[in-house]
Structure 1
Amino acid sequence: MAILLFFIGHWFLSLFFQTFFLHRYASHKMFSTSKFNERMFHLLTFICQGSSYLNPRAYAIMHREHHAYSDTEKDPHSPYFFTDVFQMMWRTAQSYKLYEKRLKEPEAQFKGSYPEWRMLDYWGSTYLSRILFGLGYIAFYIAFATHWWMFLLLPIHFMMGPIHGAIVNWCGHKYGYSNFDNGDKSKNSIPLDFLMLGELFQNNHHKRPNNSNFAAKWYEVDPVYPVMKLMHWVRLIKLRKPYIS
């Protein structure tokens, strides 16, 4: 039971901060917040993503490129230019590293308005940080695993962030239905996107990229949006006015 709870907790906490902080805040600025709260969310993203921590600056630049060049050859992770998801993940990782290490400058339109915490972002991207988190996961499994097959879950913990990204970018542009004609191949994979916390409403999101609610139809549910509304009401964040309902 402890292993199952740990796995589910890591899955959803890592995913929550990926969609809430890296996607909806760093990439799209769907809400504003104080510098203190921004640092708190930044730190929680590092803790919850752990060994697969994603640099907000690099993430935001690549995501903005994805929207600008969706499903074209300049899209950093369109599934239509790769034979399988693993090739797409490898290519995405290579592009990400260039921005993370500042070996490549983005186009001017993709720069700025993303959170930067140089010390934390540097440490979170080191091999030592990733190895220490990985050893922590392994130690927890040694202490609480009751069957050998549970250890097969460890690679998912090690690569949680990229796995979430791969699912969204592959499935969200290949499988499902479309509410809008966006000029690309974005899809809504399922009407109730609980397991991916609304990230698989890609067709809706590409139509309304700055809308904090990824659901568009009455039967669609974005589970992160009510959390953001609650955070807005208690003044942790301030949502963009046109997208509060």
Structure 2
Amino acid sequence: MIILIFFLGHWFLSLFFQTFFLHRYASHKMFTTNKFFERVFYMMTYLFQGSSFLNPRAYAIMHREHHAYSDTEKDPHSPHFFTDVFQMSWYTAKSYKMHERRLKEPEERFKGNYPEWRFLDYIGSSMISRLIFGGLYVAFYVAFAEYWWMFLLLPIHFLMGPIHGAIVNWCGHKYGYANFDNNDKSKNTTPFDFLMLGELFQNNHHKRPNSANFGAKWFEIDPVYPVMKLMHWMRIIKLRKAYS
């Protein structure tokens, strides 16, 4: 039971900060916040993504490329140019590393307006940090795992961020239904998306990339949006008016 709670906690907390901070804030600036809370969210993203921490600058640039070139040959992670999700993920990882290490100069329109914390980026992307988090996950399982098969969950902990990205990029552009014609292959994989916290409403998101609510139909519930509304009401963040 403890392992299940730990796994689900890591899954949803890592995913929350990926969609809330990296996607909705760093990539799209769907809300504004002060420097203190930006640093708090930055640190929480590092802590909860752990061994799979994703650099906000690199994430934002690559995601903006994805929107600009959705499902074309310039898309950094369209599933329609790969035979399986593993090939797509490998190509995505290479593109991400180029931006993380600043070995690739992005187009001017993809630059800027994303959070940067050079020290934490360096620490979070270091092999030492990734190994320390990995060691902590293993130690937790050694202490609390009741059955041998539970250790099979460890690779998911190690690669949590990229796994979330792979699910969204692959399923969200291959399977499901479309509310809008976006001139790409984006789909809403499921009408109820709690497992991926609204990220699988890709068709809606590509139609309204600035909207903090990824749901469009009455039955499409984005579980992160009410949290953002609450944070807006508490004046932790300020939601920006969305334009299609």
**What is the aligned partner in structure 1 of residue 220 from structure 2?**
220
The one-letter amino acid paired with 1:82 is: F
Q: Distance in 2 between matches of 1:241 and 1:99?
A: 29
- The secondary structure found in structure 1 opposite 2:150 is helix
**What is the aligned partner in structure 2 of residue 57 from structure 1?**
57
**What is the aligned partner in structure 2 of residue 28 from structure 1?**
28
Offset at 1:242?
4.5
The one-letter amino acid paired with 1:197 is: L
1:91 aligns with 2:91: yes
The one-letter amino acid paired with 2:26 is: A
Offset at 1:241?
3.2
The one-letter amino acid paired with 2:153 is: L
**What is the aligned partner in structure 2 of residue 211 from structure 1?**
211
Deviation string 1:73-102 (CA, Å, 9 cap, x unpaired) is: 000000000000000000000000000001
**What is the aligned partner in structure 2 of residue 131 from structure 1?**
131
**What is the aligned partner in structure 2 of residue 168 from structure 1?**
168
The one-letter amino acid paired with 1:41 is: F
**What is the aligned partner in structure 2 of residue 193 from structure 1?**
193
**What is the aligned partner in structure 2 of residue 180 from structure 1?**
180
Fraction of identical pairs, as percent: 79
The one-letter amino acid paired with 1:136 is: L
- The secondary structure found in structure 2 opposite 1:241 is coil
Is 2:212–2:242's contact at 8 Å kept on the other side of the alignment?
A: no
Q: Distance in 2 between matches of 1:143 and 1:26?
A: 37
Is 2:61–2:110's contact at 8 Å kept on the other side of the alignment?
A: yes
Q: Name segments (4+ residues, structure 1) moved above 3 Å.
A: none
Alignment TM-score, normalising by the size of structure 1 = 0.98
Deviation string 1:143-185 (CA, Å, 9 cap, x unpaired) is: 0000000000000000000000000000000000000000000
**What is the aligned partner in structure 2 of residue 80 from structure 1?**
80
- Structure 1: gaps spanning 5 or more residues: none
Is 2:52–2:158's contact at 8 Å kept on the other side of the alignment?
A: yes
The one-letter amino acid paired with 1:71 is: D
**What is the aligned partner in structure 2 of residue 232 from structure 1?**
232
Alignment TM-score, normalising by the size of structure 2 = 0.99
Q: Distance in 2 between matches of 1:7 and 1:73?
A: 36
Q: Distance in 2 between matches of 1:192 and 1:171?
A: 14
Q: Distance in 2 between matches of 1:89 and 1:136?
A: 25
The one-letter amino acid paired with 2:56 is: P
**What is the aligned partner in structure 1 of residue 18 from structure 2?**
18
Q: Distance in 2 between matches of 1:144 and 1:12?
A: 20
Q: Distance in 2 between matches of 1:241 and 1:113?
A: 17
Root-mean-square deviation over aligned CA pairs: 0.7
Q: Distance in 2 between matches of 1:242 and 1:114?
A: 18
Change (3 A) 1:162 1:242: closer
Offset at 1:15?
0.1
Q: Distance in 1 between matches of 2:198 and 2:184?
A: 19
Deviation string 1:91-141 (CA, Å, 9 cap, x unpaired) is: 000000000001111000000000000000011001000000000000000
The one-letter amino acid paired with 2:210 is: N
Number of equivalent positions: 243
Q: Distance in 2 between matches of 1:104 and 1:241?
A: 32
